[in-house]
Structure formats: structure tokens, C-alpha cells
Structure 1
Amino acid sequence: MQKKSLIFVFHLIVNLLASLVTALAFNYLIIPNNILSGGLTGITIVINYFTGWGVGLLYFLFNIPIFIWAYKELGKRFIVYSGIAVLVLSVFIDYLPLKPYFVTQDPMLASIYGGIMLGLGVVLWLRIGGSGGGMDIVAVLLNKRYGLSVGQVSLVLNGIVILMSTFIYSVEQTMYTLITIFVSSKVIDGLQSVQSKKTVMIISPQSRVITDQIWSKLNRGVTYLDGSGAYTNQETKIIMCVMTRFEIAELKRLVFQIDPDAFITINTTDEVLGHFRKGKASTSI
């Protein structure tokens, strides 16, 4: 119990740090220089431009229906961590002072460093098995239900934000928005490989129990491989499963909760061909 509490506290600290880094990027680099970011935050900045309502408040309100949609699909832990992130981020954005504390009035520097900080915030959230809410959650939901990649969803949503920016900012400011989105996506890809799939191999005498948990909690299909230990010469079932980066943290938690001595390998898979099964099914090889 003490170990679980320490892990939760550590994850909470990382969550707060990610929210702070993201809020600093918005308040001291992006918003003061009339730059948009991608996704839902970019949309809230546009609405703020016309209404004067707080960006943080708008972001919190828009996330409510997204969380209602996601509650049954993504699991309690993901929702709790993401909910904490949204609440803290919304407060930070609205209550951290803006002027005269923004770092630079050079929009090029603001777009580059703002993009770096936004990307870093996303990576920190993903490391603990959460997200910053907004379109990150929408992307995961669409990936699970329809097989759309995170990259495809982000491309469409960011395209909408860029289109809206042309109506309120100059063409030059829109180009800076493109730089911010590009830099943040490259930071995420470089640090986390978000858009790649992960192939997981699990060796444990509790393979049946672990498989049942993968089915019920992650809704992922499993393949059994026949294996044997070179030293013990004992036959065993090796679990193979392909999933997204978003699900890895939850998978490790489930496996080690059942078998603390389980052996897990996780490899990046650049491409998956054929049917990327999401339902309750397993096969043996």
C-alpha cells in the first residue's frame, strides 16, 4: 500500500509539472504573441479573442462532454489523471499573470519555444498514463473505436485551428501557429513515439489471469506463443499483444499487480498490417 501511495504521489507531481509547463507556454509565449496552438486549446484561444472569456475556463467546460464520452471507454485511472491535469491546467492558465511577465515579444522565438514546452507537457502526461484532456482524449477514443491514428486525428483538428486563425490573425501569425504545431508534434514524436504501436511480450505463470485483464480492462486481443525455458526446460505460454503508447502504463500496472515477477518486453512497431484487433479474442501459435 505504501509503495502504491508513493507511486501515486510521484505521478501527481509529474501531472502538476506537466500542467505548469503547458500553462507557462500559453501565458508567457503563445497567447501574448497572438499565436494559436493545436487542438482544443487553440479553439479556446479563438473563442477568448471574440468573447474575452478565460481560456482556462473555456478549456475546462469543453472537456466536460469529452470526459463523459470517455468514462466508459478509457478506464478510471486514465480519466482521473487526465481530469486532474485539466483542472490544474485550467486554473494555471487563468490565474498565472500574463503581462508584463511574458518572456519574449519575438513571435518566432515564442512559436519555437512554446511548441517545445507544449510537446514536453504532453510527453510528461503520457509517461504516467494520462493526458492533458481535450483532443488528446478524442484522438485515443477514435483510435480505439475506428482505428484512426493519433496523427490522422491531430492533422484534421489542427487544420481546423489553422483555418480559424486566418480569420482573426494575419497570414504571418498563422504561419507562426504552423511552426508551433510542427515543433510540438516533433517533440512528442521524438521523445515518446506516440504514433507508433507497441508490441508487448509477457512471460508469466499467470498468463491466463493476465490475458483476462487485458481483455476486460484494455479491450485488446491477445496471441499465445508456445515457449520453453532454456534452463528449466519448462513449457510456458508467452503473451503477445499490440497496443498504443497510451495503454502501456496501464498494461504494466495490471501485469505487475497480478505477477510482480513477470517478464515484459516492449518494442516499437512502426507499421501494423492486417486487422489490428481490438475486441475480446485470442489465438495460439
Structure 2
Amino acid sequence: MKNLHLPQWLADILYTSIGILFCGFALKGFLVPNQFFDGGVTGISLMLHELYEFDIAYVIVLVNIPFIIMGAFQVDKSFAFKTLAAVIALGLCLHFVPYPHITSDKLLVSIFGGVFMGIGVGLAIRGGCALDGIEVLALYTGKRISFTISEIILGINIVIFLIAAVKLGLPTALYSILTYYAASKTISFVIEGLEEYTGVTIISGESELVKKALVMELGRGITIYKGERGFLKNSFDVSQPADIVFTVVTRLEVRKLRNLVNEIDPKAFIFTSTIKEAAGGVLKKRARH
């Protein structure tokens, strides 16, 4: 049975290892030499490095340890162990790998430092661990207060950037916010990719033709909800049974689906919703796996 998990285990190690190298490159090649920050635990580590001249390789490990311990209870011990190993490997990478200083241009540093950091963190997440413990803290806190995880992370990062503005100047803080934005968007892209799934709901008077087209032409599985159409302002009491069609496509296929449905019924009501994770059913295998 263990051999069945070997390919996935090797893939996790590969993702995490490449992610560590990218994070090290972003830190030593862009952010650290230019006194820039990121959000989360990485931002706290960079701030301690700049204010007190602690070695970033040691600081980033020590600052993450409390969050790793928290992760053992909030997620699971396997996640905590992998995260600890990844963070220690990142510290060793920062200490021993001679990354070159790429540029001092503030705009390039803020954008590409964030992009490379986002690639690294995103790949580590795909490898089943975290190189930044801020989300573990948000998960822990979110169970005790009424704020969402995103709101908690935003609040923590606002505090980090406010301290950066006071201690190192407003321009540095503003560029660092740009770095964080670039990193967060890149993380989403690395995790979800171009094939991020979208749920599509279709309400049409020509539902039979729509169902056939989605299955036979688009090659998608469908789910049918039984509902009622009608209830207009001038004829509220008039309604009729309707099949509500739901399917899941990649965001690259949304336009094709809309065109297909509009050819059948230009009056069809279509709305979409983002799906962060999808598996099983009639889904095309994602190429990056």
C-alpha cells in the first residue's frame, strides 16, 4: 500500500523543494537587499531582520515555530512536520545558497520579488505544507471570533505594514504592499492555475436541448435540479416546472459554454460561481497533475 503513495510523496517533495528555492531567490535576490517586506510571518521575519539585524535565515525559522506548533493542533501533525522540515530547509537555503542580488529598482523588486515569493509559497502549498504560518494563526483565531480568515489575515498584514511605514518610511511600506499583492495573486495562480473550475447554473425554457448540448458537444457531466419558472410581475400566479441545469467547467471554457447555450436559447438565464476545489465526477484531468 505504501508503494501506491510513492509517486504522490515524490511529487510533494519536488513541489516543496522547488518552492523553497523560489522563496530563497525572492528573499535574497530581491527583498532583503532592498529592505522590502512581504505580508504574514515572512513580513514579520523581514522586519525583525531590518530593525535588529538578525540573520534572516534564523529569524524565519524561529518566528514560524509557534505557528507550526499551532498547526499540529489546528490541521494535523503530518502537516506540522512537513512544514517544520520545509521552513528549516528554507533557513538552510538562505544561509548557504549564494543567491545573486538581482536589482535595486524599487518597482522591479516589489513586483518580481512578490511573484517569485508567490511561486515558492504556492508550490509549497501544493506540496502539502506552508512556508508562512499566518493562515494557521488565522484559522486558530477565526474559531474564536466572528471575523473570517481573510479578514484576520488582512488585519495582521495592516499592522505589519503600518509598523513598516513608521519605522522605515511610507514609500517602503507602499512598495511592500505591492509586493504582498503580487505574491498573493501569484499564489492563487500557482494553486488554482488556468484551469480553476467554475460552477455554471442555467435556467432555460429549452433545458432538454441545453442538457444534450452540454453532454454531447461540451463533454461535461450535468446535475439537474427540479424547479419552477415564471413568477413575473404581471403574471405572478403563472409558473411552470423547469429543469435547472448545473455543470462545472474550467474558466477557459465559460465563454464556449455561454455561446453554446445562447445559440439554443438567447433568453436563458446563466450565472457562474468560482469553485476552489473539484474532484471526481465527470471532470477532465488537470494537466499540471
TM-score, scaled to structure 1: 0.63
TM-superposed deviation, 1:144: 5.4
Per the alignment, residue 130 of structure 1 pairs with 129
Deviations along 1:129-167, whole A, 9 cap, x unmatched?
321132132233334565743321221121111111123
Identity %: 23
- After TM superposition, the structure 1 = structure 2 runs for residues 1-285 of structure 1, keeping only pairs within 5 Å, are 1-97=2-98, 101-143=100-142, 146=145, 148-192=147-191, 263=281
- 1:22 and 1:149 mapped to 2: Cα distance? 27
- Which segments of 5 or more consecutive residues in structure 1 lack a partner in the other structure? 200-243, 253-261, 267-285
Between stretches 155-164 and 1-10, larger displacement belongs to 1-10
- The CA deviation string for residues 159-185 of structure 1, in whole angstroms up to 9 with x for no partner, is 111111123323222221111011112
Task: Supply the RMSD in Å over aligned alpha carbons.
Answer: 3.2
Q: How many residues align structurally? A: 207
**What corresponds to 1:277 in structure 2?**
none
Q: How far did residue 265 of structure 1 move? A: 7.0
Question: Which residue identity is paired with 2:7?
Answer: L
Q: Aligned partners of 2:147, 2:282: CA distance in 1, in Å? A: 27
Contact 1:111 1:176 in 2 (8 A): yes
* 1:18-59: CA deviation from partner (whole Å, max 9, x where unpaired): 111011101001111111111111111221123222112112
In the aligned structure 2, how far is the partner of 1:50 from the partner of 1:165? 10
The runs of 5 or more residues in structure 2 that have no matched partner are: 199-274, 285-289
Residues 79-136 of structure 1 show CA distances to partners (whole Å, capped at 9, x for unaligned) of 22212221111222233336xx211110110110011111112221222332113213
User: With structure 2 as the length reference, what TM-score do the two structures score?
Assistant: 0.62
1:104, 1:3 → 2: CA distance? 45
1:58-77 deviation per Cα after TM superposition (whole angstroms, max 9, x unaligned): 12112222222221221123
Structure with bigger gyration radius? 2
